[in-house]
């Protein structure tokens, strides 16, 4: 049988060592890290992957797109898939900066405690790569999402983009998306009121909600903080919390490392699944579907 070869495309000057380790731990035979990948360099790189092995053997070659810049990685993913034609293709996964595996794992953790369809979910600091994906996955599963930012127009623009993506993906039963930019504790409390889920997706080391705000949210059932750098994004949540009772509330809490176990398992499962066929394109929704399977197994 042909060896499993994974090409690691990274737009940074050095490939992510994190992504390399996870790849090697995912049953591949050879990892080929390629740094400094730009849109203009994609086509010849992809040609080398798709024209070397024929027929069923093509599934033993795959591409992982990483790097610290998620917007660049999205462009690279488009360039990769645009290079394929007909069945002459290889499977590809995008998880720049861990955006897709992190978002998928967080939403699966939320779904362990609350039926997402019809739930009210707050995505705090939701305009970054992780928050945008968390908002999309929650809405796709029927949650009504309020996505916050320091800028109302930025949050509105993200909500519109998500709604457009869900429409073009023809997702049924989508929840409502709305934007908020609370600037005071009272404004944040109004956003949180009636919510069952809060997921903090703000930048590292930024507190987005106080313990008091969370304690006053009597409907809250699950609170997830993806920030691992002190201070916590949700005051009172510890990075290792994993479905731990959140003092002063009826909610359970997850910290970044508490979500991280499922994230890592999902990342490895996604890489393994690339080698099942030569036509997979694993982005947020596909990785979320895998995360649900991993969680159920
Ligand atoms: N556990 C894991 O494996 C893992 C993997 C990836 C990411 N993460 C964590 O997940 C979180 C989200 O990641 P990301 O890459 O999406 O984050 P990000 O792009 O760095 O930041 C997300 C949002 O935070 C808001 N923000 C930035 N500075 C702020 C400030 N001083 N005050 C209030 N809001 C601020 C910004 O929104 P506005 O400017 O619109 O307000 C920004 O769009 C981060 O904490 C990251 O460290 C964890």
71-84 pLDDT tens trace: 999 999 999 999 99
Percent of the chain with pLDDT over 70: 100
Question: pLDDT tens digits for 187-213?
Answer: 999 999 999 999 999 999 999 999 999
User: What's the mean pLDDT in 41-67?
Assistant: 95
Clarify whether residues 112 and 200 are in a common domain.
yes
> 47 with 129, same domain?
no
pLDDT at residue 207, rounded to an integer: 97
CA-260 nearest atom, ligand 1 = 1
**How many domains does the structure of the chain reveal?**
2
pLDDT for position 248:
87
CA distances from 14 to 11, 66, 67, 121, 226 (A): 8, 11, 9, 37, 25
Distance 204 CA to ligand 1 centre (A): 6
170 and 203 part of one domain: yes
Dihedrals φ, ψ of 137, to 5°? Answer: -65, -40
With CA atoms as reference, report the closest residue to 33 among 2, 10, 58, 52: 10
Domain limits at 17? 5-94
Domain boundary among 94, 113, 136: 94
Same domain, 130 and 220: yes
201 lines ligand 1 (CB under 6 A): yes
SS (H, E, C) 124-181: ECCCCHHHHHHHHHHHHCCCEEEEECCCHHHHHHHHHHHHHHHHHCCCCCCCCEEEEC
* Distance from the alpha carbon of residue 206 to the mean position of ligand 1, in angstroms: 8
Asked whether the predicted pLDDT for residue 120 surpasses 90, the reply is: yes
pLDDT at res. 1 = 78
- pLDDT above 90: residue 54: no
pLDDT digits (tens, 9 = 90+) for 245-277: 998 899 999 999 999 999 999 999 999 999 999
The per-residue pLDDT for 55 is 85
Query: Mutate which of 202, 209, 241, 284 to test ligand 1's pocket (most atoms within 8 Å of Cβ)?
Result: 202
């Amino acid at each position: 049988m042909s060896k499993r070869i994974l090409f690691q495309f990274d737009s940074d000057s050095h490939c992510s060592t994190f992504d390399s380790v996870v790849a090697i731990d995912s049953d591949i035979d050879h990892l080929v890290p390629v740094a400094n990948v730009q849109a203009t360099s994609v086509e010849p790189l992809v040609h080398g992957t798709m024209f070397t092995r024929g027929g069923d053997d093509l599934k033993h070659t795959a591409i992982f797109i990483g790097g610290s810049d998620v917007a660049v990685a999205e462009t690279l993913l488009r360039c990769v898939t645009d290079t394929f034609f007909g069945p002459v293709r290889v499977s590809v996964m995008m998880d720049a900066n861990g955006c897709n595996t992190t978002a998928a794992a967080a939403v699966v953790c939320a779904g362990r405690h609350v039926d997402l369809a019809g739930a009210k979910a707050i995505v705090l600091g939701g305009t970054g790569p992780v928050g945008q994906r968390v908002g999309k996955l929650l809405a796709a599963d029927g949650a009504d999402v309020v996505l916050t930012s320091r800028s109302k127009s930025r949050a509105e623009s993200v909500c519109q983009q998500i709604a457009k993506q869900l429409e073009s993906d023809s997702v049924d039963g989508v929840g409502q998306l709305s934007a908020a930019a609370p600037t005071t504790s009272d404004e944040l409390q109004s956003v949180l009121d009636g919510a069952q889920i809060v997921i903090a997706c703000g930048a590292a080391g930024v507190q987005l909600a106080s313990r008091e705000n969370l304690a006053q949210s009597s409907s809250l059932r699950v609170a997830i903080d993806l920030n691992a750098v002190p201070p916590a994004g949700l005051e009172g949540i510890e990075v290792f919390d994993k479905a731990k009772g959140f003092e002063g509330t009826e909610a359970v809490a997850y910290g970044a490392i508490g979500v991280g176990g499922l994230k890592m398992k999902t990342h490895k499962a996604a890489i393994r699944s690339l080698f099942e066929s030569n036509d997979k394109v694993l982005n947020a929704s596909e990785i979320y579907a895998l995360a649900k399977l991993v969680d159920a197994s």
